[in-house]
Structure 1
């Protein structure tokens, strides 16, 4: 059996491949059509104008859905594990899922409300996505630490903590430099107002985004340890039983 078909590992594998493809494809199209400069544009800048806007919106929406699926399955897994070994509180598990779901909602807002159309809504979506996504990483790192050595290895736990720190450290200058740049233009070149802040914010944004992907990469080995079964219950049968 292929390694990515063991257990439920196909879920995080699909999420990682699809998300990276969404970033790369829209970036290449935007650069080749000269809609954005090749030197570190904002991720959402690569999905502002057609034709890349259509591809970016579609792929990011699917990425958000896949991300929510992976987070929910992880939530159910932790819920099942804590029934046997109650080392984490159900509230912590639920809070992590809520933060992740809000981050996915932010991704959908970014994908469907371009900055050139509704900038305020777009910025709210981006802020929601990165802040809630970073909180999700932090909470899942705490959960992994609490579950040592029952379910996670020290290596996986340490890697998740490192990624959550990187995401947190990068998210702060990303937000600060974005507001300091004070330039809403998509195509900026050296010498333009706020160019330095723009590049610094964009670099941090890409760093945070790939921290998310690398974090989900650590789920693959874990998702190989279980499978998901769907049980269908007809309403008529349940009524007869009652």
Structure 2
């Protein structure tokens, strides 16, 4: 069904569906296997032990690739729209670079398990969430700058609302996570640092699905875009 969407809308649509599935499938398997408690584990907790770790790693790697593709196409769209010059071209490029840093963070999270190399894993998570929040905030600003010619006011307000919620949630997510004194995945209500874990995990899920809903707003924009690959063969070779 995604393949029959107009333009290149299938790319952000696939990103949204695939990322949602990655989170949900890993969570369900981890809970059924008894590896995590059902009540709000960290997203990474649901992809730490086999068999869910393999599924989580594979799906998040693909999500990172789809995210990078979506961001690059979005960059090309804004570059084309900006021929009427509503902002500095460097802003669009900087936004893309920050978004790609977030994708690199996702790859680090997917390939360095939480319990195996916690420092690298946590660094990747910080890069992914930090860069992701900055990226969607800058995209919201770009949307307002191109409004009403290229974006409706409704779309701009939705994107900005998602950005604000994500920015607010990422602060307690990082703050509470930094106060946790032990790295573990089998949290039990009432034990030491559980409150910090609980608040941080809720905020993490909020930010993660904030990204998903934000990319969902790209689908309409991508419906009006066609990409072509041009191939040239030089006779000298």
TM-score normalised by structure 2 residue count? 0.97
Cross-structure match for 1:166: 165
**Where does structure 1 lack aligned partners over 5 or more consecutive residues?**
none
In 2, the alpha carbon distance for the partners of 1:80 and 1:25 equals 38
Cross-structure match for 2:179: 180
Cross-structure match for 1:45: 45
Aligned ranges 1:79-94 → 2 under 5 Å: 79-83=79-83, 85-94=84-93
In 2, the alpha carbon distance for the partners of 1:3 and 1:217 equals 16
Post-superposition Cα deviations, 1:129-161, rounded to whole Å, max 9, x if no partner, equal: 000000001100010011111100000000000
In 2, the alpha carbon distance for the partners of 1:11 and 1:2 equals 8
Cross-structure match for 1:148: 147
Cross-structure match for 2:211: 212
- Indicate the RMSD between aligned Cα atoms, in angstroms: 1.4
Q: CA deviation at 1:50?
A: 0.3
In 2, the alpha carbon distance for the partners of 1:68 and 1:157 equals 22
Contact 2:2/2:10 (CA < 8 Å) preserved in 1? no
Cross-structure match for 2:124: 125
In 2, the alpha carbon distance for the partners of 1:36 and 1:111 equals 18
In 2, the alpha carbon distance for the partners of 1:176 and 1:69 equals 31
Which segments of structure 1 move beyond 3 Å, counting only runs of 4 or more?
1-4
In 2, the alpha carbon distance for the partners of 1:87 and 1:182 equals 48
Post-superposition Cα deviations, 1:151-178, rounded to whole Å, max 9, x if no partner, equal: 0000000000001101100000000010
Do structure 1's residue 67 and structure 2's residue 67 form an aligned pair?
yes
TM-score normalised by structure 1 residue count? 0.95
Please say which of residues 124-133 and 219-228 is displaced more in the overlay: 219-228
Q: CA deviation at 1:3?
A: 9.2
Cross-structure match for 1:34: 34
In 2, the alpha carbon distance for the partners of 1:218 and 1:43 equals 23
In 2, the alpha carbon distance for the partners of 1:53 and 1:231 equals 39
Q: CA deviation at 1:183?
A: 2.4
Cross-structure match for 1:22: 22
Equivalenced residues, count: 237
